[in-house]
């Protein structure tokens, strides 16, 4: 039986997210000396802003102790890993575990920030933590020192604050230092990270007793007064939200009433009845803290997770309504990727058939709400992991649709104020038979409302339904799969606000012929409809510019060659890169990493022996390659770092920065 080697965070290994388990580790700042630290920094920034003054939704992730598939910060291999994609209902996401300091894996921070949602870690001291309590709360100095350590971690890793969960009793002197701890943490977080949050959990009371109040009252309000809000325990009654709101005064929206989706003593019973509690909280105009929405994933369901997840969050949406709008800024790009899948594609061409998960890769997620069905059986929209244009997913539209009917489905609810620059709108699609996809964009000004439809060919039937119908231009895209069609349209809407982006499902009229149809997708009936939307791009410039590969400095920080007794050789290597011009304001959120084998040919010239092999995606300027097989026939490797723009643009491989690693002599 092989011996289990203890985890040593200073030793190079596949990068993971992990918690801090002891005060000594927190105080020593050992985390910053870890090999894994640079990989755990969130790279999607959230603009500093206070929470809106309305009822809010906080979602607390609690999944079997945490750090499961999501700990693999470069991505894991489970295509069915847990994910959340209904971000438009949320204001705050909290990552929870029972370790002392729970640091949110960057995959969650990246996707939450992309959708405008704040992310909190957890600091928890439970019943067995008497030594932690005594050390932490020994004095004002110790309390403030540890609070400073927590602030430093949040700022360095790029998340937005903390849940304070002190589920342990204490004496009056310790209560005094606990107040100093919470107050100092709140103030230092606000100072170093404007818009950050410290939320108090309803646990120990101001008299030092561990007694959950299930409301905001005089026993826990002193902690509420020195923090940004309270997460009220789940055992509240129907009239509790109203009394808690009264106790909060002008800060009633900082009261987050807990709902345990597992139903443990929670009002309404949780599960499929979570909306019962939500309806009460909405009526009393207080906020909600939904605990363990992963119940839908962990609890046996009658359907697969995709269907169950959408069904459960749609119940939440019916009670709570959409609270978040995007796009807010241009450029706007979505490939509808949920952050997991069974393949990776670029321009409709599969570059990897390996199963994967990586929430950092999750793109802006659509609402998929049918807003205008012209038949009693409208076309339905769902995530498709088989027909993929970019990344690992797309949106498929399937159903029954008569020739003169159409179905409009809301994708995004935005608020982009437009200026003089024309909008360039691009989208990719494939379809069967005469099934067609168009995009409708809704605009609002102080005096007018307009809806423009972009379609591949003008149809008479749309003349009365839209302010203007614009015929798109098919684009020639390098390396594009012949199954896919990329369309582009230009719009000038100076002084308007882009409010909604919809897809319109329709059939091409016989006289216009089949435009952009895909012969590989066969329709078996004149009324059967099927089409796929691969991505959507809205920007004000047509051709984004990437810095040439000579602008980058690429190097290896760590190389390890390993030979087995059988003579097989492998390579472990950490590759890092940065723009040589440190003053550049260019921002890239992702990089595709490839490798090519190299052999020597005659007069020491190098020859690339094969097509690039996709290794994975990086969201920081570093990537760790583990156990790469080294064939005896090669002289080295060429690692290629393909730069990807926030607008969905992708640098050509031949123009991308690279690193050559010599394999001879090792």
Angle, helices 274-283/305-320, rounded to nearest 10 degrees: 20
State both tokens at 196: 């950050």
Pairing of strands 287-291, 344-346: unpaired
pLDDT of 523 reads: 46
**pLDDT confidence band for 122 (50 / 70 / 90):** very high
112 pLDDT more than 90: yes
Return left, alpha or beta for 65; rule: phi > 0 is left, psi -120 to 50 is alpha, else beta.
left
pLDDT of 605 reads: 59
Residues 24-62 as b/e (b if ≥16 CB within 10 A, e otherwise) read ebbeeeebeebbbebbbbbbbebeeeebeeebbbbbbbb
pTM over 0.85, yes/no: yes
Per-residue pLDDT averaged across 268-281, rounded? 97
pLDDT of 511 reads: 58
State both tokens at 602: 């005659």
Phi, psi (degrees; rounded to nearest 5) at 281: -65, -35
pLDDT of 599 reads: 86
Residue 483's Cβ-count burial label (10 Å; 0-12, 13-18, 19+) is middle
What is the SS3 assignment for 396? Answer: strand
Note the pLDDT tens digit of each residue in 513-550: 444 444 445 444 558 999 999 999 999 876 778 999 99
**Which of 486, 359, 501 lies closest to 428 in space, CA to CA?**
486
Please provide the average confidence, as pLDDT, over all residues in the chain.
93
Helix (H) or strand (E) holding 134: helix 130-136
Phi, psi (degrees; rounded to nearest 5) at 299: -90, 135
Q: Tokens 């909290």 sit at which residue? A: 94
Extended strands (E) in 445-589:
449-455, 468-471, 473-474, 485-491, 497-507, 528-539, 552-563, 569-579
pLDDT of 143 reads: 98
My answer on whether omega of the bond before 232 falls inside 30° of 0, hence cis, is no
Note the pLDDT tens digit of each residue in 338-370: 999 999 999 999 999 999 999 999 999 999 998
Helix (H) or strand (E) holding 369: strand 369-373
pLDDT of 458 reads: 82
pLDDT of 607 reads: 67
- CA atoms of 505 and 484, how far apart (whole Å): 17
Q: How far is CA 199 from the centre of its chain?
A: 22
Note the pLDDT tens digit of each residue in 19-66: 999 999 999 999 999 999 999 999 999 989 999 999 999 999 989 889
Q: Which residues contact 569 (CB under 8 A, 6 or more apart)?
A: 561, 562, 563, 629, 630, 632, 666
pLDDT of 38 reads: 98
Residue 578's Cβ-count burial label (10 Å; 0-12, 13-18, 19+) is middle
pLDDT of 600 reads: 73
Per-residue pLDDT averaged across 432-457, rounded? 94
Note the pLDDT tens digit of each residue in 182-206: 999 999 999 999 999 999 999 999 9
Per-residue pLDDT averaged across 380-391, rounded? 96
Note the pLDDT tens digit of each residue in 123-140: 999 989 999 999 999 999
Residue 558: count other Cβ atoms within 10 Å of its Cβ: 12
Q: Which residues contact 3 (CB under 8 A, 6 or more apart)?
A: none
State both tokens at 188: 């230092």
pLDDT of 539 reads: 93
- CA atoms of 286 and 280, how far apart (whole Å): 9
> Within 13 Å and on the Cβ side, how many CA atoms surround 610?
14
Extended strands (E) in 540-621:
552-563, 569-579, 590-601, 605-608, 613-618
State both tokens at 217: 């009252």
Query: Where are the CATH 2.60.40.10 domain residues in the chain?
Result: 549-662
Residue 477's Cβ-count burial label (10 Å; 0-12, 13-18, 19+) is middle
Share of the chain above pLDDT 90, in %: 83
pLDDT of 527 reads: 81
268 pLDDT more than 60: yes
Considering the four listed CATH numbers 2.60.120.260, 1.10.8.870, 3.40.50.1000, 3.40.50.2000, the one that applies to the domain covering 332-512+523-539 is 2.60.120.260
Per-residue pLDDT averaged across 143-152, rounded? 98
**Topology, domain 549-662:** Immunoglobulin-like (2.60.40)
pLDDT of 514 reads: 45
**Which of 74, 18, 19 lies closest to 43 in space, CA to CA?**
74
CATH class of 23-30+56-67+82-319: alpha beta
pLDDT of 234 reads: 96
**Which of 168-172, 285-289, 491-495 is least confident?**
491-495
- CA atoms of 529 and 507, how far apart (whole Å): 8
Note the pLDDT tens digit of each residue in 60-92: 998 988 999 999 999 999 999 999 999 999 999
What is the SS3 assignment for 603? Answer: coil
pLDDT of 386 reads: 97
- CA atoms of 318 and 305, how far apart (whole Å): 20
Helix (H) or strand (E) holding 641: strand 636-644
**Which of 158, 234, 165 lies closest to 196 in space, CA to CA?**
158
pLDDT of 516 reads: 45
Query: Where are the CATH 3.20.20.80 domain residues in the chain?
Result: 23-30+56-67+82-319
Per-residue pLDDT averaged across 631-650, rounded? 93
Sign of the torsion formed by the C-alpha atoms of 154, 157, 163 and 167: negative
Note the pLDDT tens digit of each residue in 602-612: 555 566 667 89
Query: Where are the CATH 2.60.120.260 domain residues in the chain?
Result: 332-512+523-539
Note the pLDDT tens digit of each residue in 630-640: 998 888 999 99
Q: Tokens 């423009």 sit at which residue? A: 452
- CA atoms of 118 and 161, how far apart (whole Å): 8
157 pLDDT more than 60: yes
Helix (H) or strand (E) holding 329: none
Residue pair 166/204 in contact by the 8 Å Cβ criterion? yes
Phi, psi (degrees; rounded to nearest 5) at 308: -65, -40
What is the SS3 assignment for 347? Answer: coil
- Which DSSP state fits 527? T
């Amino acid at each position: 039986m092989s011996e289990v080697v203890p985890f040593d965070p200073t030793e190079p290994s596949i990068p993971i997210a992990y918690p801090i388990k002891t005060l000594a580790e927190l105080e020593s700042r050992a985390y910053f000396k870890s090999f894994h630290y640079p990989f755990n920094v969130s790279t999607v920034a959230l603009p500093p802003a206070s929470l809106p003054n309305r009822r809010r939704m906080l979602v607390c992730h609690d999944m079997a102790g945490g750090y499961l598939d999501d700990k693999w910060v470069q991505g894991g291999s489970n295509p069915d890993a847990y994910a959340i994609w209904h971000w438009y209902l949320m204001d705050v996401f909290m990552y929870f575990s029972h370790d002392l300091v729970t640091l949110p894996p960057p995959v969650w921070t990246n996707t939450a920030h992309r959708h405008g949602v704040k992310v909190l870690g957890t600091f928890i001291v439970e019943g067995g933590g008497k030594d932690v309590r005594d050390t932490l709360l020994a004095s004002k100095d110790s309390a403030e020192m540890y609070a400073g350590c927590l602030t430093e971690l949040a700022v360095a890793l790029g998340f937005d604050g903390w849940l304070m969960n002190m589920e342990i009793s204490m004496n009056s002197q310790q209560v005094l230092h606990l107040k100093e701890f919470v107050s100092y943490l709140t103030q230092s977080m606000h100072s170093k990270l404007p818009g950050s949050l410290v939320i108090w959990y309803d646990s120990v009371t101001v008299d030092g007793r561990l007694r959950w109040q299930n409301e905001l009252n005089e026993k826990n309000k002193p902690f509420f007064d020195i923090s940004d809000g309270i997460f009220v325990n789940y055992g509240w009654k129907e009239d509790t939200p109203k009394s808690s709101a009264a106790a909060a005064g002008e800060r009633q929206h900082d009261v987050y009433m807990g709902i345990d989706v597992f139903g443990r003593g929670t009002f309404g019973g949780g599960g499929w009845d979570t909306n019962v509690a939500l309806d009460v909280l909405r009526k009393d105009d207080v906020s909600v803290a939904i605990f363990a929405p992963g119940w839908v994933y962990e609890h046996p369901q009658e359907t697969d997770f995709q269907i169950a997840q959408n069904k459960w969050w749609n119940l939440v949406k019916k009670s709570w309504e959409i609270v978040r709008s995007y796009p807010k800024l241009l450029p706007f790009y979505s490939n509808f990727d949920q952050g997991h899948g069974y393949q990776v594609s670029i321009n409709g061409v599969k570059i990897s058939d390996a199963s994967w998960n990586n929430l950092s890769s999750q793109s802006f997620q659509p609402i998929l709400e049918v807003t205008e069905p012209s038949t009693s059986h409208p076309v339905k929209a769902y995530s498709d992991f088989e027909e993929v244009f970019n990344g690992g997913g797309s949106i498929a539209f399937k159903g029954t649709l008569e020739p003169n009917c159409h179905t409009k489905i809301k994708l995004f609810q935005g608020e982009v104020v437009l200026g003089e620059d024309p909008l360039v709108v691009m989208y990719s699609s494939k379809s069967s038979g005469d099934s067609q996809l168009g995009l409708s964009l809704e605009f609002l000004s102080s005096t007018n409302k307009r809806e423009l439809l972009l379609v591949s060919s003008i149809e008479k039937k749309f003349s009365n339904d839209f302010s203007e119908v614009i015929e798109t231009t098919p684009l020639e895209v390098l390396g594009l799969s012949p199954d896919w069609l990329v369309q582009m349209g230009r719009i000038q809407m100076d002084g308007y606000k882009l409010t909604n982006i919809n897809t319109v499902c329709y059939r091409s009229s016989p006289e216009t012929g089949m435009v952009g149809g895909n012969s590989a997708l066969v329709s078996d009936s004149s009324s059967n409809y099927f089409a796929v939307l691969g991505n959507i791009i809205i920007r004000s410039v047509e051709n984004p510019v990437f810095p040439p590969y000579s602008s980058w400095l690429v190097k290896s920080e760590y190389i390890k060659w390993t030979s087995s007794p059988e003579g097989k050789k492998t390579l472990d290597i950490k590759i890092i890169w940065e723009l040589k011009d440190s003053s550049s304001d260019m921002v890239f959120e992702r990089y595709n990493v490839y490798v090519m084998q190299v052999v020597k040919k005659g007069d020491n010239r190098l020859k690339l022996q094969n097509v690039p092999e996709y290794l994975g995606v990086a969201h920081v300027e570093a990537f760790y390659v583990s156990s790469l097989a080294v064939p005896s026939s090669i002289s080295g490797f060429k690692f290629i770092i393909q730069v990807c723009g926030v607008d969905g643009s992708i640098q050509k491989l031949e123009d991308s920065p690279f690193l050559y690693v010599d394999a001879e002599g090792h």
